[in-house]
């Protein structure tokens, strides 16, 4: 563990000499680049390891009207020396074998980064966030390429420590092909066509596996009839890759209708017995996770780039995929396969779902929607 007094001394120095450090960094700038979002970081592989898309370059006039755009200043050697975004500034000091980045906002110092070089290649990265919070990475290179990183994280307030091992692989052209975190692929470069093929593969796999999952309700729902199966997803990866399946039973629904409950409640999992299931296909989950990382890495990428997500970001892509799965399965007759009513449907449930506003129409075919309305269920 790095002693907290090291951090304290670095912060004390950065605060005492703030104007000097920032002024020296600004004065060294001979070229400016502007981006709509973050494009450069001191830590090697920062964007790839965090599955973050880089910003898009914009002109100075556009940047001047956007207070949260990034301005990057470079010195005569092409080295990044200064960063500005809103009320945040970064002054980067270079001295051959070491780089120090002091990151400021209107409250003071919010981070200090240090990157150490050996034989011209990064060998160690440190980021100090607060006295008991810092991150350290140590790097191994082969043929001038970063092939391995060991990461250690110290978190504050008894959150403890974490450690990760990263392995980087490249294709024949020298481009990054994949990253493994602790032996598991967390990033894989995909072309647009490869991503489209993977999506179709995952879609077909989810249809098959979701069908098997719903059929398992027939083994546990023996004295009731199912009126729906909801598939609860949320923004965390595990909530997308392997959501919770829950069954709604007709007996409860009939009582709700008799009691005059509002329509939103008759579709709520909380009102029904605890009939739950989950997917049981680790291989499919692994393939889905690759698609998820592709979507996450390209989330928010605007038009006219090499990769533009059809729906803008990871969440909407995932929601559309699961809606398609439910729609496909709602085309099938379930009444002879599980104890189900003639109004049985499968739908995707999520925090923003508003049944009374027509959200079921994303998961349920129009013919069944009309039937539900005719029976007073929508």
Tokens at residue 333, please?
Answer: 């007759």
Looking at residue 243, what is its pLDDT?
Answer: 93
The arithmetic mean of pLDDT across residues 323-335, rounded, is 95
Residue with tokens 């294709």: 171
Q: What is the DSSP code string of 223-244?
A: SS-EEEEEEE--SSHHHHHSPE
Give the residue ranges of DSSP H helices in the chain: 4-16, 18-27, 46-49, 60-64, 192-220, 237-241, 250-259, 282-297, 314-330, 366-374
Looking at residue 304, what is its pLDDT?
Answer: 44
If one compares 308 and 116, the residue with the highest pLDDT of the two is 116
Looking at residue 72, what is its pLDDT?
Answer: 98
Lowest mean pLDDT across 97-111, 130-144, 205-219, 318-332: 130-144
If one compares 273 and 169, the residue with the highest pLDDT of the two is 169
C-beta neighbour count of 361 within 10 angstroms:
16
Whether 1 shows a pLDDT value over 80: the answer reads: no
Residue with tokens 């400016």: 32
Measured in degrees and rounded to the nearest 5, phi and psi for residue 278 equal -150, 160
Q: How do residues 243-269 score in pLDDT, each as one tens digit?
A: 999 999 999 999 999 999 888 888 988
Looking at residue 145, what is its pLDDT?
Answer: 94
Looking at residue 314, what is its pLDDT?
Answer: 83
Among residues 203, 221, 147, 209, the alpha carbon closest in space to that of 324 is found at: 203
Residue with tokens 């098959």: 208
Lowest mean pLDDT across 121-125, 175-179, 298-302, 336-340: 298-302
Looking at residue 301, what is its pLDDT?
Answer: 58
Is 254:266 a contact under the CB 8 Å cutoff? no
Lowest mean pLDDT across 85-89, 249-253, 347-351, 354-358: 354-358
- In the chain, the N- to C-terminal Cα span, in Å, equals 59
Lowest mean pLDDT across 23-27, 41-45, 342-346, 353-357: 353-357
Whether 303 shows a pLDDT value over 50: the answer reads: no
What is each CA distance from 319 to 93, 117, 122, 199, 220, in whole angstroms?
Answer: 45, 44, 40, 13, 28
Name the band, by pLDDT with cuts 50, 70 and 90, for residue 133. Answer: confident
Mean pLDDT of the chain: 90
Count Cβ neighbours within 10 Å for each residue of 299-328 and write b for 16 or more, e otherwise.
bebeeeeeeebeeeebbebbbebbbbbbbb
Tell me 356's DSSP state: G
User: How big is the chain, counted in residues?
Assistant: 378
- The CA distance from 134 to 112, in Å, is 9
Tokens at residue 378, please?
Answer: 């929508």
Name the band, by pLDDT with cuts 50, 70 and 90, for residue 347. Answer: very high
If one compares 20 and 3, the residue with the highest pLDDT of the two is 20
Name the band, by pLDDT with cuts 50, 70 and 90, for residue 155. Answer: confident
């Amino acid at each position: 563990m790095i002693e907290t007094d090291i951090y304290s001394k670095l912060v004390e120095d950065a605060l005492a000499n703030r104007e000097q450090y920032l002024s020296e960094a600004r004065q060294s700038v001979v070229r400016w680049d502007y981006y709509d979002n973050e494009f450069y970081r001191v830590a090697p592989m920062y964007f790839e390891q965090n599955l973050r898309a880089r910003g898009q370059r914009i002109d100075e006039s556009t940047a001047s009207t956007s207070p949260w755009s990034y301005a990057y200043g470079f010195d005569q050697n092409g080295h990044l020396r200064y960063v500005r975004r809103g009320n945040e500034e970064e002054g980067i000091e270079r001295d051959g074998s070491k780089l120090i980045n002091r990151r400021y906002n209107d409250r003071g110092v919010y981070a200090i980064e240090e990157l150490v070089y050996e034989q011209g290649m990064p060998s160690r990265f440190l980021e100090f966030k607060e006295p008991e919070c810092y991150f350290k990475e140590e790097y191994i290179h082969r043929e001038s390429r970063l092939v391995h990183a060991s990461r250690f994280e110290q978190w504050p307030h008894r959150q403890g420590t974490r450690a990760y091992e990263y392995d980087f692989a490249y294709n024949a052209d020298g481009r990054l092909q994949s990253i493994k975190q602790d032996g598991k692929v967390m990033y894989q470069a995909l072309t647009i066509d490869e991503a489209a093929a993977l999506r179709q593969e995952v879609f077909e796999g989810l249809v098959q596996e979701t069908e098997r999952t719903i059929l398992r309700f027939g083994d546990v729902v023996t004295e009731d009839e199912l009126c729906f199966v909801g598939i609860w997803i949320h923004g965390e990866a595990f909530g997308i890759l392997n959501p919770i399946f829950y069954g709604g039973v007709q007996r409860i629904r009939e009582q709700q209708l008799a009691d005059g409950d509002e329509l939103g409640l008759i579709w709520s999992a909380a009102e029904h017995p605890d009939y739950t299931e989950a997917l049981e296909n680790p291989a499919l989950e692994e393939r889905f996770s690759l698609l998820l990382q592709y979507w996450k890495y390209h989330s928010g990428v605007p038009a006219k780039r090499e990769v533009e997500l059809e729906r803008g970001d990871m969440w909407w892509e995932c929601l559309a995929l699961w809606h398609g799965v439910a729609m496909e399965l709602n085309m099938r007759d379930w009444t002879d396969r599980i104890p189900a009513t003639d109004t049985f449907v499968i739908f995707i449930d999520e925090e923003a779902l508003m049944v009374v506003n027509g959200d079921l129409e994303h998961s349920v075919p129009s013919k069944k929607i009309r039937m539900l309305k005719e029976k007073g269920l929508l």
